[in-house]
Structure 1
Amino acid sequence: MHDQHLKSLICGALFVLSQNFAPAQPPKTRTSPTTDTYHGVDVVDNYRWLEDWNDAEVKRWSEAQNAYARDYLDALPDVDAIRKRVTEVMSAEQVSYSSVRHAAGQFFAMKRQPPKEQPFLVTFESLDHPDRARVLFDPNTVDAEGTTSVDWFEPSPDGSLVAISLSSGGSEIGDVTVIDTTDGRQVFEVVPRVNSGTAGGDLAWAPDGEGFYYTRHPRPGERDEVDLNFYQQLYFHRLGTDSTEDRFELGKGFPRIAEIEVEVHQQSGNVLCNVQNGDGGEFAHYVRRADGQWTQISRFGDKLVQATFEPSGAILAITRQGAPRGKIVRLPTITSKGALIDPLIPEGEDTVVTSFYRAPPSLVATENRIYVTYQLGGPSEVRVFDRDGNALPKPRQLPISSVDGIEPLGGDDILFYNSSYVDPTQWMHHDASNQMTRKTRLSSESPVDMSDVHVTREFAISKDGTKVPVNIMRPASVNGPGPLVLYGYGGYGINLTPRFNASNKVLFEQGVTYVVANLRGGGEYGEAWHLDGNLTKKQNVFDDFAAAARYLIDNNYTTSDQLAIMGGSNGGLLMGATLTQHPDLARCVLSSVGIYDMLRVELSPNGSFNIPEFGTVKNPEHFKAMRAYSPLHNVIDQTEYPAVIFFTGANDPRVDPMQSRKMTARLQAASVSGLPVLLRTSANAGHGGDSGLSQKIEQMVDTCAFLFHHLGVTVRPIPPSSGSADRS
């Protein structure tokens, strides 16, 4: 132990000598012990005071931390060269499209066109001519700083109008504006508080286009301030009327943490309402007939997790009742006892993907076809069945890739997007009449060439013997152990699927390998995989990630001194747990908008929604499990922790920034490694998904500079990009 400590001191001294600047000390953080008692266990919190963002002292502390982080990051080697390259890659004017919708012969999509800060809404008439698109709404023209964003949009059935949820500053608190698609003018009234960063939001037009069903959050004065982002209900708004007169539809008995999605069958006017109980994956479903009568067709706990209308008006649903990987049934198939009849498409070896929170649908019914997205342990694919559930040839898709965004085009044709780790998004048109799949002109081109990056899929063995997939992206020029970034998430049944990220080229061209681990807690192998990594089994996620890291070290991909780990949100919790449980596993840690105080998280605005996933301190078994892995409560004084940078957004509605503040203070006080613990708080930013381009560039610059320095990467000059290779 003495020799190890001496070695650490020598390494720390060499680290200091390697800097071209004098290392400043982090700002002093006072302690003010507060003791809570949970089930007879006393827990001391020295940094409770950092929770109050309205406290001027907290803001001064945060500003001092930002200044300390900036002084450190700006003085790192090769920052100017890194910024030049990152900006070149991320600002390259390469157009991409997302959220493509089809209505009345028109296409609607969000168009991203760097160097514009935010994507903007366009419409066009042909998949072969997106170049003829008209701009309907551009948030960049109303906010040059890029802090206003489109949360989502929904075109009316005849395509003459489009409803847009707009929010600002990363808040995700969205008001709905209606746009006339002929000229982009705002028409009619604004409907406030449709979307929130906690419960989300949704909207579906009535068949006549004269109004819409929408999710309504309480308005000031209707509930206590602490409840304004809860108690989501379903209302109907008639265009041309004041929203205070809107008709209540459903939700008075819903849980406080209800999250709602709504769909309208355009031929009959029937309405389908999907309700999730927080973020834990339990759903209830309701149908409204044309006479206005609502009928509940499933309850929380029935394991019916997703439903959608067929063109005929029947309902298709995904259920996990007796089928943890999912099966497809046609309703009405629920008896008075809640049992389901034989499935239309039975459970198979692979997992049926489910979607929520305005995610692109994973189950789509056309006139004579049923399209289902399947998860293959990380990669995903779309499969095709006839109306009787018989398998048909599937569309052409990339290897080790993901599919998403299925959009019906009329008849049995669909549009979907397909992406891999090294191939940018391809929007594919599947012609059901001849089983042909073609790439459309909506497909993206890349500003970089990934043809020299090799992708392999291998498996680590976790502590309990579970096989954990690791997806390895390795530059062809790399042989033997080298710098490597390991990314993970593992929660909420979310699948980490192959996604193209051009900015990763900045890592690859400096010889850095990038790896994504598919951990328990996700949904890559079905609900059993998810449940084996949540509530009291959350430790399995951390064990899986540590096993992936050790696999990469043992198989000569990297060493502990050349390993960085990275994650965000629930993946930030993963980072915190990994660095406290295995402080010598990695050289540096990059953690974004993470959760670190598991005993206080449920008290934050979005914390209640997390209870079905993490548990509650009110339950003694949940408390015991959370206390055992809670990063904040497992930091040990006089420990040699790796270099750490925490990223957070001042307006984050999903994970309270106080989580990052408290964890930063605790680690700065405890670590004796001589390596930095930094906190970088972005103003006018939230959870990160809707950040402007310039914000994303600056975070990537800091990420690369921090990584390269601590992993010993000497930055090589890179010639100007020569464009992408055609890998289709």
Structure 2
Amino acid sequence: MILLNSCKDTITENIAYNYPKIEKQSVKEEYCGIEITDDYRNLENLKDSSVINWFKEQEKFTKNFLNKINGRDELFDRMKGYASKNEFETYFIRVLTNGNYFYLKHYAEDNAPKLYMKRSLKNDDEILFDPKDYEKGNDENFTIRSYAPSWDGKKVAIALTSGGREFSEILIIDVLSKKILVEGIPNFWGNLTWLPDNRGIAFMALADNFEKSADHFKNMNVSIYKLGLPASKKEIVLSKEVNPELHMTVSDIPVANFHNQTDKYIITDISGATAYADHYYCLSSNFFEQKEINWKPLAKKNDKIKKIRIYNDSIFALTAINNESFEIVTKGLKNIDWNKIKVIVTPKEGEVIDDFEITSKGIFFTTLLNGVKAKLYKFKNGNVTEVNLPIDAGYASISNLSPYHSELWLITMGWLNNYERFKYQPENEDFLSEEISPVADYPEFENFSVKEVEVTAHDGEKIPLSIIHNGKIKKNGENPTLMIAYGSYGISYEPFFNTDWLTWVEYGGVLAIAHVRGGGEKGNTWYEGGKKESKPNTWKDMISCTEFMIEKNYTSKNRTIVRGGSAGGIMAGRSITERPDLFAVAMIRVGVLNALRNEDGPNGDNNVKEFGSYKNPEECLALLEMDSYTKIEKGVDYPATIITAGLNDPRVVSWSPGKFAARLQELSTSNNPILFYVQSDGGHGFDAGKWKAIKEEANLFAFAFWQVGHPNFVLTH
């Protein structure tokens, strides 16, 4: 156990930071009647060699800087040691009706997982595909982004990517011989499934010209590839162009949902970067054969459908249309009126229904209390009964085999509880452990404590706050405290086990996860309360939670660190621009920091649904308010800040954090370091190798610990 005995009061060294410079090319524009000066508009041109050189110089500068922080390498080794405690881990487990198990298996010494299968749970496993052995005539390191076994288990489609990119090419292998049947099926994005006859695959795809487009996410489609054809001969079967009757926009993302081989209907979601979608359905046989497709409407976005299934010609859905904490409803497929649909399950007071699955033994559903306390229930014959979980869980996820089978699986986790997998036993309504990989013990974390509290917000709302710390800490205001939040798309920050984060606690820090508005912890109202014009609640909730931690003497202003990533960059960026005095450090991972201009970047039109458009006067004012870049002012002492970006990131284009970093380096008068941590071979982070991801965490933590005066972390000159 590493305990923090003392911290220096402040970092007082007067260091000259010779940041890489780039010439400013200012642009003045009017947004919703207000003139805005954009000093670093030229950074948006990622085809300009001087811009790319600046990004790479920032990358070099930051790497050299971080390499000089003593204690960083020891921290990385400790994180790596925890990540290696298990000989291997398994995840993305798929079970077929014939009893086959498929899964990704990640050995401790490997950077990326391999694909394995078991003929049955009792059989030994066998390796099907190792991306290290896949060669395409270059030095790229491939990783498996997604996979899908055919319904009969005889073939597997595998989506491979490299360099942190999220788009992939698909190859298909024969399970028995392990031979590649076809490779190079292009433009895969997600939702990979097999056709009912096992003769081809369907998947969500990017447009054929996406790499040349300014917005990778425009004109996405659902494509079908049939075995025996050349890899390039995929057919677009669902898109704006193919289906004008669906009134799709160029930024809409179509998803074809086909969950079981015997599904009579296929459901399409016309969605995007927001919590809800438009839903349609048609006969699956017609869709896959492209014969007389007649898409019929199921629901619109304002019906607030979180999940929808069709079973025995009846709809089952999870909706917030009449209950902000969600209800499970049902209705026949004829004459659908969501205001008159039959409610079969309502949540208990204070709980939010999170998910449901249909099995032959009933409908099972999970609920959350404040996003951090999970429960499981069963609905059958008009009655709801609670199913006791095998452990006290903060997170519970369920999956079925099909509505016609009794099988149900449960995954649990908590802030201090590792991933565990169970199989439901319907005859006595309990669970048996079904671990395919060993579960490591972490005695180093045994004395850690979790407190779930509620904090009063600026407007009187109660914000859930999860506090994790060593049981022996003293409330003396000297504990480095990492404040974390997200707050977008209705996504809840549910408890999960992260040994990297717990290493922060082991080193004497406190973790505080703020369940701010914009997330889904308290249902639809909580989500809507941090969206578009209500977005300021997201960072104001973080500010309230930080003030609470200081008031309760966990920490002080010169010990607080705010962290946000992706859309959570809005929260972190606006927290330090609204209250720069409240935080000692900011960590912002691939963050949305120039929200006003986000619409004109890749993934911009798609995110209009969540954040708004500057073309709409009211939403334009909201975007101005949430734009961290334009809120940076001259002559203000901003906290030490480390900002990351990936040059291959299609979700948050690298110029958004880049412009923020450049302006902050120029205008901050605090003499606190502002580091722009660019990864020229990185993306949004989803497909980064294990050791690369851990190295990034070690860099971020070492920077923060150094800045709050942790004695183990000192900058060498």
The alignment's TM-score, normalised by the length of structure 2, stands at 0.90
How do 1:328-407 and structure 2 match up within 5 A?
328-332=328-332, 335=335, 339-349=339-349, 362-381=355-374, 383-404=376-397, 406-407=399-400
Per-residue CA deviations over 1:169-213 (Å, capped at 9, x if unaligned) read 122112222122223322145421121xxxxx2133222212233
How do 1:130-145 and structure 2 match up within 5 A?
132-142=124-134
CA displacement at 1:511 relative to structure 2: 0.9
Question: Residue 228 of structure 2: SS of its match in structure 1?
Answer: coil
Give the stretch that moved more between structures: 484-493 or 300-309: 300-309
Provide the C-alpha distance between the structure 2 equivalents of 1:394 and 1:634, rounded to a whole number of angstroms.
Answer: 50
Provide the C-alpha distance between the structure 1 equivalents of 2:602 and 2:188, rounded to a whole number of angstroms.
Answer: 17
CA displacement at 1:117 relative to structure 2: 0.9
CA separation of 1:627 and 1:707: change in aligned 2, threshold 3 A: same
Provide the C-alpha distance between the structure 2 equivalents of 1:277 and 1:713, rounded to a whole number of angstroms.
Answer: 43
Provide the C-alpha distance between the structure 2 equivalents of 1:304 and 1:474, rounded to a whole number of angstroms.
Answer: 37
**Which residue does the alignment assign to 1:308?**
309
Instruction: Please tell me whether the aligned partners of residues 50 and 58 of structure 1 are also in contact (alpha carbons under 8 angstroms).
Output: yes
- Equivalent residue pairs, number: 686
**Are residue 672 (structure 1) and residue 666 (structure 2) matched?**
no
Provide the C-alpha distance between the structure 2 equivalents of 1:352 and 1:575, rounded to a whole number of angstroms.
Answer: 27
Give the stretch that moved more between structures: 155-164 or 176-185: 176-185
**Which residue does the alignment assign to 1:263?**
258
CA separation of 1:419 and 1:92: change in aligned 2, threshold 3 A: same
The alignment's TM-score, normalised by the length of structure 1, stands at 0.89
**Which residue does the alignment assign to 2:639?**
642
CA displacement at 1:678 relative to structure 2: 0.2
- Alignment RMSD, CA only? 2.6
**Which residue does the alignment assign to 2:267?**
272
CA separation of 1:289 and 1:62: change in aligned 2, threshold 3 A: closer
CA displacement at 1:660 relative to structure 2: 1.4
Instruction: Please tell me whether the aligned partners of residues 157 and 205 of structure 1 are also in contact (alpha carbons under 8 angstroms).
Output: yes
Provide the C-alpha distance between the structure 2 equivalents of 1:85 and 1:146, rounded to a whole number of angstroms.
Answer: 28
Instruction: Please tell me whether the aligned partners of residues 429 and 440 of structure 1 are also in contact (alpha carbons under 8 angstroms).
Output: yes
Question: Residue 486 of structure 2: SS of its match in structure 1?
Answer: coil
Provide the C-alpha distance between the structure 2 equivalents of 1:665 and 1:656, rounded to a whole number of angstroms.
Answer: 15
Provide the C-alpha distance between the structure 1 equivalents of 2:227 and 2:539, rounded to a whole number of angstroms.
Answer: 50
Instruction: Please tell me whether the aligned partners of residues 398 and 420 of structure 1 are also in contact (alpha carbons under 8 angstroms).
Output: no
Per-residue CA deviations over 1:378-424 (Å, capped at 9, x if unaligned) read 22535232444522341424335101252438732211210111111
Provide the C-alpha distance between the structure 1 equivalents of 2:446 and 2:297, rounded to a whole number of angstroms.
Answer: 52
Give the stretch that moved more between structures: 429-438 or 615-624: 429-438
Provide the C-alpha distance between the structure 2 equivalents of 1:178 and 1:709, rounded to a whole number of angstroms.
Answer: 48
**Which residue does the alignment assign to 1:153?**
147
Per-residue CA deviations over 1:142-175 (Å, capped at 9, x if unaligned) read 3798842222222211111122222221221122
Per-residue CA deviations over 1:565-623 (Å, capped at 9, x if unaligned) read 11111112211101100001111111100011111101111111111111010011111
**Which residue does the alignment assign to 2:38?**
45
Question: Residue 666 of structure 2: SS of its match in structure 1?
Answer: helix
**Are residue 456 (structure 1) and residue 444 (structure 2) matched?**
no
**Which residue does the alignment assign to 1:506?**
503
Provide the C-alpha distance between the structure 2 equivalents of 1:467 and 1:268, rounded to a whole number of angstroms.
Answer: 43
Instruction: Please tell me whether the aligned partners of residues 255 and 277 of structure 1 are also in contact (alpha carbons under 8 angstroms).
Output: no
**Which residue does the alignment assign to 2:116?**
122
CA separation of 1:475 and 1:140: change in aligned 2, threshold 3 A: farther
CA displacement at 1:278 relative to structure 2: 4.0
CA separation of 1:473 and 1:326: change in aligned 2, threshold 3 A: same
**Which residue does the alignment assign to 1:78?**
71
Instruction: Please tell me whether the aligned partners of residues 491 and 530 of structure 1 are also in contact (alpha carbons under 8 angstroms).
Output: yes
Provide the C-alpha distance between the structure 1 equivalents of 2:193 and 2:380, rounded to a whole number of angstroms.
Answer: 25
**Which residue does the alignment assign to 1:578?**
575
Among 583, 587, 595, the alignment partner of 1:598 is 595
Question: Residue 73 of structure 2: SS of its match in structure 1?
Answer: helix
CA displacement at 1:673 relative to structure 2: 1.0
Give the stretch that moved more between structures: 568-577 or 143-152: 143-152
Give the stretch that moved more between structures: 489-498 or 605-614: 605-614
Amino acid at match of 1:83: F
**Are residue 232 (structure 1) and residue 220 (structure 2) matched?**
yes
Among 25, 31, 53, the alignment partner of 2:24 is 31
**Which residue does the alignment assign to 1:713?**
710
CA displacement at 1:24 relative to structure 2: 3.6
**Are residue 168 (structure 1) and residue 169 (structure 2) matched?**
no
CA separation of 1:635 and 1:309: change in aligned 2, threshold 3 A: same
Question: Residue 110 of structure 2: SS of its match in structure 1?
Answer: coil
CA separation of 1:625 and 1:273: change in aligned 2, threshold 3 A: closer
Provide the C-alpha distance between the structure 1 equivalents of 2:310 and 2:201, rounded to a whole number of angstroms.
Answer: 17
Question: Residue 303 of structure 2: SS of its match in structure 1?
Answer: coil
How do 1:562-577 and structure 2 match up within 5 A?
562-577=559-574
**Are residue 441 (structure 1) and residue 442 (structure 2) matched?**
no
Among 533, 546, 549, the alignment partner of 1:549 is 546
Provide the C-alpha distance between the structure 2 equivalents of 1:603 and 1:351, rounded to a whole number of angstroms.
Answer: 39
Instruction: Please tell me whether the aligned partners of residues 265 and 271 of structure 1 are also in contact (alpha carbons under 8 angstroms).
Output: no
Provide the C-alpha distance between the structure 1 equivalents of 2:340 and 2:176, rounded to a whole number of angstroms.
Answer: 47
Give the stretch that moved more between structures: 693-702 or 646-655: 693-702
Per-residue CA deviations over 1:335-355 (Å, capped at 9, x if unaligned) read 26554422122354355556x
Per-residue CA deviations over 1:518-545 (Å, capped at 9, x if unaligned) read 1110011111110010010000011100
Instruction: Please tell me whether the aligned partners of residues 147 and 170 of structure 1 are also in contact (alpha carbons under 8 angstroms).
Output: no
Provide the C-alpha distance between the structure 1 equivalents of 2:76 and 2:16, rounded to a whole number of angstroms.
Answer: 22
Among 197, 215, 218, the alignment partner of 2:207 is 218
Per-residue CA deviations over 1:414-472 (Å, capped at 9, x if unaligned) read 11210111111001111112112122223552363321111110111110011001101
CA separation of 1:583 and 1:174: change in aligned 2, threshold 3 A: same
CA separation of 1:392 and 1:411: change in aligned 2, threshold 3 A: farther
Instruction: Please tell me whether the aligned partners of residues 263 and 271 of structure 1 are also in contact (alpha carbons under 8 angstroms).
Output: yes
**Which residue does the alignment assign to 2:4?**
none
Amino acid at match of 1:161: K
Provide the C-alpha distance between the structure 2 equivalents of 1:188 and 1:515, rounded to a whole number of angstroms.
Answer: 48
CA displacement at 1:373 relative to structure 2: 2.5
**Which residue does the alignment assign to 1:65?**
58
Question: Residue 91 of structure 2: SS of its match in structure 1?
Answer: strand
Amino acid at match of 1:111: K
Per-residue CA deviations over 1:537-568 (Å, capped at 9, x if unaligned) read 00001110000100010001111111111111
Instruction: Please tell me whether the aligned partners of residues 520 and 540 of structure 1 are also in contact (alpha carbons under 8 angstroms).
Output: yes
In structure 2, list runs of 5 or more residues that go unmatched.
1-7
Amino acid at match of 1:204: T
**Which residue does the alignment assign to 1:109?**
103
**Which residue does the alignment assign to 2:3?**
none
